[in-house]
């Protein structure tokens, strides 16, 4: 793999150096911060140069940044985010496309594109990102690094620009699982408690069916290795089996996550865009038309469905249970493909990808993506998820399963 420096990676909006406040469990580690998260004395762009120019410098670090500095980590820069974090492709109209070092002709994924690129290029040990419809998990998977979306609102979002509060959360991308675990346990304020061993691994049937055959084949060895673990039961299961509701992953996305996302984006940035009419990239502009044309009467049903899915999944999960599925159902598309000129490609990428990512999103589950496979050198991530607020169990279990899958 080619070596990239800070400039060649195209991952950063700004490069700086903030020393840790004191020694701690993250001593010796460096991190970067997605540019929708505040750094004291610096502008927060939200992926938009007009937004950056219209808003004052941050008066304080975001709380999540303070936690990492207090634990001994060093902050070295702010990374590119997709425009208003409303994308999963990582091709920024204002700041350019961060490199995907494992597949340089392909997108890094978004909206935490710069964070994934900075980690994958080896420029930082880990990076902060945010995730609504997959904005940590997808770029982590496409760039071949680890990423974690924690239980919803488990990490403080003070100092993080609002997006879709019903489904958005702060999380971490890291070069390996031990580093991910160290950083996440700081942010989660974890305590050393006894946790159950993994007992059941549920393969989410629809997620595998949505995936390209090459991805299914690439992950088959990992899944087979899980089945050889002692005292672990591996079972294929559908969303209907889990919830008892007549819903699919596609409806989980289209009737719940996407509706809430569309409605809440309007609350977060709609007024400012309407008043200021800022310059917008063509891809954001095309997507934002859905926000402007959205019938908000659909929001109540989406909220109720989201709550029902959360409650049913929570009632199903028992201690020791883990869900398993491909993080992204497609390989990283080539750069420049996901535009209005290729509407079928756009709809396929977003439709299938967000159907898979919606499972943890609406059920408020912690999810970790692990870079366990590849197709012709292009990274393929495998996701593990578990019950709400069982983040530390997921970290412990992921390490065990990582070791097992690495033997396949």
Percent of the chain scoring above 90 in pLDDT: 95
Which pLDDT value is given to residue 404? 73
Give the number of C-alpha atoms closer than 13 A to the C-alpha of residue 4, restricted to the C-beta side: 23
- 195 pLDDT band (50/70/90 cuts)? confident
Which pLDDT value is given to residue 240? 97
Query: Burial level of 407, CB count in 10 A (0-12/13-18/19+)?
Result: exposed
Which pLDDT value is given to residue 406? 67
Helix ranges (H only) for 205-328 are 205-210, 213-226, 239-243, 249-252, 258-265, 271-276, 282-292, 299-316
Q: What is the largest CA-CA distance in the chain?
A: 61
Q: How far apart are CA 137 and CA 174, in angstroms?
A: 11
Q: What angle do CA 130, 135, 141 make, to 5 degrees?
A: 120
Q: How far apart are CA 158 and CA 205, in angstroms?
A: 37
Q: Which uninterrupted H or E stretch holds 401?
A: helix 391-405
Which pLDDT value is given to residue 279? 98
Q: Which uninterrupted H or E stretch holds 204?
A: strand 200-204
pTM of the model: 0.97
- pLDDT tens-digit readout, 281-318: 999 999 999 999 999 999 999 999 999 999 999 999 99
- 403 pLDDT band (50/70/90 cuts)? confident
Q: How far apart are CA 173 and CA 90, in angstroms?
A: 15
- pLDDT tens-digit readout, 70-122: 999 999 999 999 999 999 999 999 999 999 999 999 999 999 999 999 999 99
| Mean pLDDT taken over the chain | 96
Residue with token string 């419809």: 133
Which pLDDT value is given to residue 408? 54
Which pLDDT value is given to residue 1? 79
- 399 pLDDT band (50/70/90 cuts)? very high
Which pLDDT value is given to residue 49? 98
Structure tokens at 270: 């709609």
Ranking 18-22, 251-255, 320-324, 341-345 by mean pLDDT, the lowest is 341-345
Length of the chain measured in residues: 408
Catalytic residues: 34, 111, 135
The predicted model gives 349-375 an average pLDDT of 98
- 354 pLDDT band (50/70/90 cuts)? very high
| Beta pairing class for 30-34 and 74-79 | parallel
The predicted model gives 143-149 an average pLDDT of 98
Structure tokens at 401: 């399963």
Q: Which uninterrupted H or E stretch holds 67?
A: helix 63-70
DSSP state of 27: T
Structure tokens at 174: 């890291």
Q: How far apart are CA 253 and CA 306, in angstroms?
A: 10
Does the pLDDT of residue 405 top 80, yes or no? no
- pLDDT tens-digit readout, 258-282: 999 999 999 999 999 999 999 999 9
- The answer to whether 19 and 116 have CB atoms below 8 angstroms apart is no
Q: How far apart are CA 99 and CA 139, in angstroms?
A: 11
Which pLDDT value is given to residue 407? 61
Distances (CA, A) of 308 to 23, 50, 302: 44, 39, 10
| Beta pairing class for 12-18 and 74-79 | antiparallel
Q: How far apart are CA 111 and CA 82, in angstroms?
A: 5
Q: Write a three-state SS string for 339-373.
A: CHHHHHHHHHHHHHHHHHHHHHHHHCCCEEEEEEE
- 193 pLDDT band (50/70/90 cuts)? confident
């Amino acid at each position: 793999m080619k070596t990239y420096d800070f400039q060649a990676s195209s991952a950063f909006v700004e490069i700086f150096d903030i020393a840790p406040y004191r020694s701690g469990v993250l001593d010796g580690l460096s991190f970067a911060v997605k540019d929708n998260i505040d750094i004291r004395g610096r502008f927060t762009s939200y992926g938009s140069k007009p937004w950056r120019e219209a808003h004052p410098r941050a008066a304080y670090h975001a709380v999540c940044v303070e936690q990492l500095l207090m634990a001994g980590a060093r902050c070295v820069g702010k990374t590119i985010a997709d425009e208003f974090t409303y994308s999963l492709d990582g091709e920024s109209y204002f700041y350019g496309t961060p490199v995907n070092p494992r597949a340089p002709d392909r997108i890094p994924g978004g909206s935490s594109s710069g964070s994934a690129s900075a980690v994958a290029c080896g420029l930082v040990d880990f990076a902060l990102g945010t995730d609504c419809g997959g904005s940590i998990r997808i770029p982590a998977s496409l760039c071949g690094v680890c990423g974690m979306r924690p239980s919803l609102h488990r990490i403080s979002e003070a100092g993080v620009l609002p997006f879709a509060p019903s489904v958005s959360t702060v999380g971490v991308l890291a070069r390996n699982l031990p580093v991910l675990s160290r950083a996440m346990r700081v942010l989660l304020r974890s305590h050393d408690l006894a946790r159950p061993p993994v007992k059941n691994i549920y393969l989410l049937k629809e997620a595998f069916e949505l995936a390209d055959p090459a991805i299914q084949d690439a992950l088959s060895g990992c899944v087979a290795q899980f089945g050889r673990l002692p005292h672990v039961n591996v079972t294929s299961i559908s969303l209907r089996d889990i919830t008892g509701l007549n819903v699919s992953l596609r409806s989980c996305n289209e009737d719940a996550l996407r509706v809430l996302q569309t409605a809440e984006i309007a609350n977060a940035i709609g007024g400012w865009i309407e008043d200021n009419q800022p310059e917008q990239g063509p891809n954001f502009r095309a997507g934002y038309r859905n926000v402007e044309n959205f019938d908000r009467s659909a929001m109540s049903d989406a909220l109720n469905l989201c709550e029902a899915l959360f409650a049913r999944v929570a009632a199903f999960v028992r201690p020791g249970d883990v869900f398993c599925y491909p993080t992204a159902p497609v390989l990283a598309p080539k750069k420049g493909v996901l535009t209005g000129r290729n509407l079928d490609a756009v709809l396929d990428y977003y439709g299938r990808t967000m159907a898979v990512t919606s499972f943890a999103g609406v059920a408020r589950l912690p999810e970790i993506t692990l870079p366990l496979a590849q197709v012709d050198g292009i990274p393929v991530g495998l996701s593990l998820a578990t019950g709400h607020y069982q983040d530390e169990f997921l970290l412990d279990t992921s390490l065990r399963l990582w070791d097992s899958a690495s033997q396949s």
